[in-house]
Structure 1
């Protein structure tokens, strides 16, 4: 798998370039407002807010018609009942190897969770690996990097639980390197100061790293760093 360069200059250039996508910030701000920036999927309104944010972020998870079952709502509520208290409450740089093993399992179960009914067959499709990774980021924005199909394929050659854990491990390496370069600690205060120094104080570090991956691998196809 290809190695991507990562330092403050590289991330700063990506952050500046990505800032042109203002709609991304708008839909994220709406999600934060709907969840009070403290998402809790035991609350129906927060499950609705996550469904809306995922769709606006490109996941295309069908909304049920009136009277139809809602697999997304019931599936996410059940998953949260198991995993809501198990998800790490630390920064990306603070993730432990045990956290990464646990996250791989939680990701796999979330990706396999029913999410929408097919209007043609009536069968439920699963959330899938891209939407699951984005959902986990939305639930722990300072902790977990999302991905898309191109990013996963370029960096890990797969989108299974092992690849997801490897993606967070890569993010941990990058985050630690950036914070050390800036003379900052791995805690939330350090991550927030790094974001402020990059001119994006409201942007979680895991999302800025994803912005970089998106530009380098999804938009540019890996042809530029």
Structure 2
């Protein structure tokens, strides 16, 4: 079952798939380098870099014209939610912190990009991962539908609770060791490794193979 609790061996297998993608971490490492020490959306350049990175991850968001509200809307979202986003590991999230992230997600998904679209659920989840890579397990449409049946804020809250339980179980199975190192994906967090497990077991069999590359 794609939604079964992954074992370390499962994560190794899906890590091998991701390591087989050309330049799998290239755009992620570039984003980290260009925004060091962290993505901070109070900077206009970081907002532009985040959008560019989201498109490298398959979001297909049109770059806004000067008249579009995206940049100012994203800044307003950051001013409202940025300081409230937890800075803990996925395994260490409290119930209250998960609720906070889910509310931020719901608001971010509704941010207006242009007169034709909002940021959307998938891009919002990926953006939250970029902002808190140790904390947020992202999703795409296929994963959200398969596991939770929708992409609402409540569904994303359930997704983070699932990720927390998985992360805790994986860490308990290899105490004192780095899971990313153990599975051969040292450039990313455990939250992302769990997302990769879902991508390989759910999204790829459906034929959508480009949503998390780069």
TM-score, normalization by structure 2: 0.92
Aligned twin of 2:8: 8
- Structure 2 matches for 1:190-205, cutoff 5 A? 193-205=178-190
Aligned twin of 1:149: 141
**Higher Rg:** 1
In the alignment, structure 2 segments of 5+ residues that lack a partner are: 207-214
Call closer, same or farther: CA 1:124–1:81 in 2, change over 3 Å: farther
Output one character per residue of 1:38-86: Cα deviation in whole Å (capped at 9) or x when no partner.
1100001100110000011111111134xx3242211110000011100
Shift of 1:126: 0.8
In the alignment, structure 1 segments of 5+ residues that lack a partner are: 118-122, 185-189
Question: What CA distance in whole angstroms lies between the structure 2 residues aligned with 1:45 and 1:169?
Answer: 32
Bigger shift: residues 197-206 or 130-139: 197-206
Aligned twin of 1:171: 163
Q: Which runs of 4+ in 1 moved over 6 A?
A: none
Contact residue 93 and residue 176 of structure 1 kept, 8 A: yes
1:26 paired with 2:11, answer no
Aligned twin of 1:131: 123
1:213 paired with 2:198, answer yes
Aligned twin of 1:187: none
- Structure 2 matches for 1:31-50, cutoff 5 A? 31-50=31-50
Q: 1:89 aligns with which of 87, 90, 93?
A: 87
Call closer, same or farther: CA 1:2–1:217 in 2, change over 3 Å: closer
Return the structure number with greater relative CO, CA threshold 8 A, min gap 6.
Answer: 2
Call closer, same or farther: CA 1:70–1:30 in 2, change over 3 Å: farther
Question: What CA distance in whole angstroms lies between the structure 2 residues aligned with 1:63 and 1:52?
Answer: 8
Contact residue 104 and residue 162 of structure 1 kept, 8 A: yes
Please provide the CA RMSD for this pair: 1.7
Shift of 1:24: 3.0
Aligned twin of 2:211: none
Aligned twin of 1:106: 104
Output one character per residue of 1:17-41: Cα deviation in whole Å (capped at 9) or x when no partner.
1111233311111111111141100
